[in-house]
Amino acid sequence: MSICEDQPPISPKELLSPDFLQSLPPELVEPIIADIDSTADLLSLALTCKALYGIIVPFHLHFRKINLNIGVTPLALWYGIIAKPRLSSMFRTFHSHGDPHKEQVFYPSSLVQEGETYLPSTETSPGIADVFLRAISQLTGLVKFNYTTPHGAKWINTSQILWTLSISSPLLAEVYLHPEGVEMPSSELISPPEIYPTLVIFPSLQSLIVDFAYTGDSDMLLCFEILAVGRFPKLQVLHLLEIYNTPNRPPAITVFINSATLPQLLEFMLVTRSNVYSQDMTKQAKADVVYRFLARHPLLESLSVLSSNGEFWQPLFLERDHCPNVSVLSVDGMQRRDDLLATDVITASLAGQLQKLSARIGPRSLSLLGCMNMLKECILHIPYSLPMTFLHSLPISIKRLVVIIHPELILEPPPKGSPFDCIPHLTRLHNLTHVGGFNWDMTFIAGEKKAFLEKLSVLTKLEYIGGWGQHSPFRWIPLQKLKDEFAMENELKLRDVFPWAIPGI
C-alpha cells in the first residue's frame, strides 16, 4: 500500500489555505498561485499572511491583465515584457483599445522600468513591429486577446499576429482583431509555404472575431490561408467581418469555405463586399461548396451572412437536412432592393426550427412565416408596398421584433399613412417585450408618447420601444422611462438586444 493511500483526501478549501500553502516548497506554491486568474482572489489570499503576500503582490497581483491604448504605449513596456518572460507568462488578458479618450490603462509599471534599463543594452534597434511581436510571443499564458488600434495609427499585420499567437499562446480561448490605420512592416512576415496544419494550431481557441476593414490584400490572403489550413479543434464562434477585397483567384472566401474544417463550430458570421465565388463557377457548383461546408459543420446553430447583392445566398435553397441544428439565420444582401427574399433561400422544413431570423420578406414570404412557429426574435426588411397585415402571419411566440421599411425604387416616396397604422396588427403578439422600426423616430415617439402608451397598453409584457434619431442610429427606449419622463440617456443599441444579428443592419 502506498503512502498516498493512507492519507485522507485534501479538500479544495484546504488546498488554498495559508497554512497548507506555507507547508509546501516554493516550487509547488508558484504553480498553484499561477492558476488563480482573479485579481480579487489573489489579493484576498495575499492578505492572509506575510509569506504569501511576498510572493503574490510583486510577482502575480499585477500580472494578470494588460489594458492599454497601443498608439501611446511606451516602447519600454514591450522591452520589459521581452526581458521578463516568466512574469510575462502570468498575464491572462491582453486588451488594446483605440479610444484616445478612454483613460482605463493598466499594466505593471515595473515592466516599463525594466524595459528602460534594458533598452540601452540592445546593440541594434529593431522596428517597433518586430519588438511588439516578440513581446506578444512572451505572453504564453494568455486566455483573451483583444487587439484594437486607434484610427489612422500604424499597426501590425493581422496575419502575423494570428501566426504569433498560434505558436506561443496554447491557452488562448478568445481573440478579437480590429486594426484601423496603416500596416506597419515587419521583418518577420510569414509567407504561404510556412502555413500548414502542423504549425498553425490553436488548441484552446473558442472564439475568433476578425474585422478586415483596414486589412491589405496580401495580409487578408494570409489570414484566410491560416483559417483554411490551421487546426482549431475547439473553435465555436467565428466572425469574419468587413471583407472588401479578396484579389486572388479563386476568391479567398471560396477557398476557405471549401477547405476549412472546424469540428466544434456553433456560430459563423460573414460580412463581405467582395466576391464570394469564382466567376467561372456554375450555380450548382457554388451551392455544392456551401452545402459541403455545412455538412462538415453539423453542430452549427447560427449562420449569418451579409454579402453584396446577396451573392452568398443566391445559389442556395436550404433544407433542414443541410443544417439540422441551425436555429439562428441572417439572410442578408447589401442592396435592400434586390430580389433576394427569405422564400428564395429557406424551405418550410428549415423554417420550422428557426428561433431567430433576419431577412427580407415580401408577399410571397407570408406562408413561410406561418411555418415559423418557434420564432422568438426577428429583424424583417419589407418594401413600402407590403401591407401591415403581414404581421398576422407572424407566430405569437415572437418576443422581439424590428421591422425596417425600404423603398423598392430609388427616391421612392414613403407611403401615406400614420406611424400608428401597424399597432392594431401588433396587439395579437402578446408576448412582445421589444418592438421597433416601422420608421418610428425618437422625436415622434417623444411627441406622441401618450398615444403610444395608450395604443400599446394591451401588450402587457412590453419593455422597450425602438426607433431612430434624426442623426443617430437605432435605439431602444425603456417603456418605463417613457411613462415617467422621456430621456435619451442609458438607451440600448440594436445589437444590445439582437447580439446575434449582423452589425450595421
Quick: pLDDT tens for 263-298: 999 999 999 988 888 888 999 999 999 999 999 999
CA dihedral 472, 99, 131, 171 (to 10 degrees): -80
At residue 301, the 3 state secondary structure works out as coil
Q: Within its chain, how far is the Cα of 278 from the centroid?
A: 27
Closest CA to 345 of 384, 379, 310: 310
Determine the Cα–Cα distance for residues 272 and 312; give it in Å rounded to an integer.
9
Crossing angle between the packed helical segments 128-137 and 158-168, to the nearest 10 degrees: 30
pLDDT at 331: 92
Given a cut of 50, the residues of the chain with pLDDT beneath it are 1-5, 7, 187
Q: Which of 202, 311, 208 is nearest to 254 (CA)?
A: 311
- E strand or H helix that includes residue 119: none
**CB contact at 8 A, 223 and 215:** yes
Q: 209: exposed, middle or buried (C-beta count within 10 Å: 0-12, 13-18, 19+)?
A: middle
- Position 3 scores a pLDDT of 38
Which helix (DSSP H) or strand (DSSP E) does residue 44 occupy?
A: helix 39-46
The C-alpha cell of 67 is what? Answer: 489594458
Length of the chain measured in residues: 505
Q: How far apart are CA 477 and CA 467, in angstroms?
A: 8
User: Torsion angle of alpha carbons 265, 268, 272, 275, nearest 10°?
Assistant: 50
Q: What's the confidence (pLDDT) of residue 7?
A: 47
User: Which of 404, 394, 440, 405 lies closest to 419 in space, CA to CA?
Assistant: 440
Type of residue found at 88: S
Residue tagged 495559508 (cell numbers): 18
Phi, psi of 159 (to 5 degrees): -65, -35
- Distance of CA 329 to CAs 303, 323, 377, 501, Å? 5, 11, 11, 9
For the stretch 11-22, pLDDT in tens is 555 555 556 556
Q: Determine the Cα angle at 336 with ends 334 and 339, to 5°.
A: 105
pLDDT of residue 261: 92
Cα angle at 374 between 368 and 380, to 5 degrees?
55
In the block, cell 392594431 appears at: 424
For residues 323 and 345, what is the distance between their CA atoms, to the nearest angstrom? Answer: 13
Q: What are the cell numbers at 213?
A: 476593414
What confidence score (pLDDT) does residue 317 get? 95
Distance CA 491, CA 505 (A): 18
Q: How far apart are CA 137 and CA 77, in angstroms?
A: 14
| Amino acid symbol at 164 | T
Phi, psi of 85 (to 5 degrees): -65, -35
What are phi and psi for residue 208, nearest 5 degrees? -135, 120
> What is residue 122's DSSP assignment?
-
pLDDT at residue 210 in the model: 95
Please state, in angstroms and rounded to a whole number, the distance separating the CA atoms of residues 439 and 406: 9
- Nine cell digits for residue 114: 525594466
Provide the 10 A C-beta neighbour count for residue 237. 17
